[in-house]
C-alpha cells in the first residue's frame, strides 16, 4: 500500500516541482511556458513570505503540488486574497482523495494567513468543466472566464 503525505515547500525539491510543471505544461499545451523562467521563479517561491506552496508525496516522490500568492486584491487592496497560481497532480492521482486533501490543506493555509478570499482557476483542457462542479460544491463561485488567442 502506498504512503501519501502532504508537505510544505522544500527548497531542495525545487527541480522535482519544476519537472511536474513541465509535465503539466506539456499536457495542456501551454503557450505561456518558459522552463528556464519556471526554474528561476520556483527558486524564488521557495523562500518568499507571500507564497503558499504545498506538495503531495507518494512513497517519498512528489506527485502533485499547489501554490499561490497572498496579496491584496488588485481592485481592492484592503481585501487579502490567496490567488492559486497552479495546482497539478499526476494523472494517476487525480481521482484520488489525496488531490482534494492537497487543495483543502491549501485552503487551510490561506485561512491561517488571514486571507479573506481564495481565488482558484481551472484549465478547460484538463477537465475544467468537471473541476468547476467540484469548486462549486466546495462553495466557490464562478466569477469570470478567460480566453486567449495568438495574434
Highest mean pLDDT (candidates 24-38, 96-110, 121-135): 96-110
Rounded to an integer, what distance in angstroms lies between the CA atom of residue 87 and that of residue 123? Answer: 10
* pLDDT the model gives residue 78: 97
Look at residues 135, 63, 145 and name the one whose alpha carbon lies nearest to residue 103: 135
- Domain borders along the chain are 4-137
More confident residue, 118 or 95: 118
Q: Quick check: 82 pLDDT over 90?
A: yes
pTM for this entry: 0.87
The answer, yes or no, to whether residue 32 has pLDDT greater than 80, is no
CA–CA dist 67, 56 (Å, integer): 12
Quickly state the pLDDT bin for 129 (edges 50, 70, 90): confident
The CA-based angle 132-113-4, given to 5 degrees, is 60
The 10s digit of each residue's pLDDT in 105-122 is: 999 999 999 999 999 988
CATH number (1.20.120.430, 1.25.40.10, 3.40.630.30, 3.40.47.10) of 4-137 reads 3.40.630.30
Residue-level pLDDT at 38: 83
Amino acid at each position: 500500500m502506498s504512503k501519501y503525505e502532504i508537505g510544505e515547500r522544500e527548497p531542495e525539491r525545487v527541480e522535482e516541482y519544476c519537472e511536474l510543471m513541465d509535465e503539466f505544461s506539456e499536457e495542456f499545451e501551454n503557450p505561456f511556458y518558459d522552463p528556464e523562467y519556471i526554474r528561476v521563479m520556483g527558486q524564488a517561491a521557495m523562500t518568499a513570505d507571500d507564497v503558499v506552496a504545498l506538495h503531495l508525496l507518494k512513497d517519498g516522490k512528489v506527485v502533485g503540488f499547489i501554490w499561490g500568492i497572498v496579496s491584496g486584491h488588485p481592485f481592492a487592496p484592503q481585501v487579502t486574497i490567496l490567488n492559486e497560481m497552479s495546482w497539478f497532480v499526476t494523472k494517476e492521482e487525480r481521482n484520488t482523495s489525496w488531490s482534494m486533501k492537497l487543495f483543502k490543506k491549501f485552503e487551510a493555509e490561506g485561512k491561517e494567513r488571514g486571507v479573506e478570499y481564495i481565488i482558484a482557476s481551472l484549465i478547460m483542457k484538463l477537465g475544467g468543466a468537471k473541476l468547476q462542479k467540484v469548486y462549486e460544491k466546495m462553495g466557490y463561485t464562478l466569477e469570470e472566464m478567460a480566453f486567449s488567442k495568438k495574434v
